[in-house]
Amino acid sequence: MTQTRSSQSGAEFLYSHSGAEDIFTPEDFTDEHKMIAKTAQQFITKEVEAHRETIENQDFDQVVTLLKKAGDLGLLGHSIPEKYGGLGLDKISKGLVGEVVGRTSGYGVAQSNHTCIATLPITHFGTHEQKEKYLPKLASGEYLGAYCLTEPNAGSDALASQTTAVLNSEGTHYILNGTKLYITNAVFSDTFIVYAKIDGKHFSAFIVEKDFPGLSLGPEEKKMGIKGSSTRSVILEDCQVPIDHLLGEVGKGHVIALNVLNLGRFNLGSACTGGAKHALNLALQHTNERKQFGQTIASFTATQEKVAVMMARIYASESLQYRTASLLEEAMKDLYDEEDHRIVGKQMMEYAVECAICKVFGSETLDQVVDESLQLHGGAGFIQEYPIEQMYRDSRINRIFEGTNEVNRLLIPGNLLKKAIKGDVPLEELVEKAKRELSSKENHSLSENDAIRSMRNVFLVCTGLAFEKHGKELMNHQETVMKLANIAIVLYAAESSVLRAIKGGRQEGDVKTLLARTFLEESLLQVEAAARKLIMSVLPAHEKREVMDLIIRELSSYDFGNSLERNRQIAKHSYNKLKYEV
Ligand SMILES: Cc1cc2nc3c(=O)[nH]c(=O)nc-3n(C[C@H](O)[C@H](O)[C@H](O)COP(=O)(O)OP(=O)(O)OC[C@H]3O[C@@H](n4cnc5c(N)ncnc54)[C@H](O)[C@@H]3O)c2cc1C
In a 3-state reduction of DSSP, which class is residue 207?
strand
Please state the rounded mean pLDDT for residues 218-242: 97
**Ligand 1: nearest atom to the Cα of 150:** 11
Instruction: Please state, in angstroms and rounded to a whole number, the distance separating the CA atoms of residues 140 and 70.
Output: 8
Q: By alpha-carbon position, which residue is closest to atom 26 of ligand 1?
A: 155
Whether 60 and 184 have beta carbons less than 8 Å apart is answered as: no
Instruction: Please state, in angstroms and rounded to a whole number, the distance separating the CA atoms of residues 373 and 390.
Output: 12
Q: Mind listing the pLDDT tens digit for each residue in 513-559?
A: 999 999 999 999 999 999 999 999 999 989 999 999 999 999 999 99
The pLDDT value recorded for residue 443 is 55
**Ligand 1: nearest atom to the Cα of 407:** 47
HEC secondary structure over 63-123: HHHHHHHHHHCCCCCCCCCHHHCCCCCCHHHHHHHHHHHHCCCHHHHHHHHHHCCCCHHHH
The pLDDT value recorded for residue 3 is 45
| H helices, E strands: number in the chain | 19, 10
Q: Mind listing the pLDDT tens digit for each residue in 322-357?
A: 999 999 999 999 998 899 999 999 999 999 999 999
The pLDDT value recorded for residue 4 is 42
Please state the rounded mean pLDDT for residues 80-100: 97
Strand partners, 174: 167, 241
Mean pLDDT, rounded, of the chain = 96
Of 125, 335, 111, which Cα lies nearest the Cα of 245?
Answer: 125
> Is the pLDDT confidence value at 2 over 60?
no
Instruction: Please state, in angstroms and rounded to a whole number, the distance separating the CA atoms of residues 437 and 456.
Output: 11
| CA 406 / ligand 1 centre spacing (Å) | 10
Q: Mind listing the pLDDT tens digit for each residue in 396-430?
A: 999 999 999 999 999 999 999 999 999 999 999 99
Q: pLDDT above 70 covers what percent of the chain? A: 98
Q: Mind listing the pLDDT tens digit for each residue in 487-500?
A: 999 999 999 999 99
The pLDDT value recorded for residue 441 is 67
Question: How close are the terminal C-alpha atoms of the chain, in Å?
Answer: 23
Q: Mind listing the pLDDT tens digit for each residue in 276-322?
A: 999 999 999 999 999 999 999 999 999 999 999 999 999 999 999 99
Ligand 1 pocket: which of 363, 401, 477, 480 to mutate (most atoms within 8 A of CB): 401
Instruction: Please state, in angstroms and rounded to a whole number, the distance separating the CA atoms of residues 5 and 327.
Output: 9
Whether 196 and 235 have beta carbons less than 8 Å apart is answered as: no
> Is the pLDDT confidence value at 442 over 80?
no
Whether ligand 1 lies within 6 angstroms of the CB of 370 is answered as no
Q: Mind listing the pLDDT tens digit for each residue in 125-180?
A: 999 999 999 999 999 999 999 999 999 999 999 999 999 999 999 999 999 999 99
The pLDDT value recorded for residue 444 is 61
Of 187, 194, 193, which Cα lies nearest the Cα of 216?
Answer: 187
Question: Which residues does 272 contact at the CB level (< 8 Å), separation at least 6?
Answer: 102, 317, 362, 363, 365, 366, 395, 398
Which helix (H) or strand (E) segment holds residue 202: the answer is strand 202-209
Poorest-confidence range of 6-15, 134-143, 179-188? Answer: 6-15
The pLDDT value recorded for residue 1 is 42
| CA 264 / ligand 1 centre spacing (Å) | 14
Alpha helix segments (H runs only) across 103-182: 106-115, 120-125, 128-140
Whether ligand 1 lies within 6 angstroms of the CB of 149 is answered as yes
The pLDDT value recorded for residue 6 is 60
In a 3-state reduction of DSSP, which class is residue 337?
coil
446: confidence class by pLDDT, cuts 50, 70, 90: confident
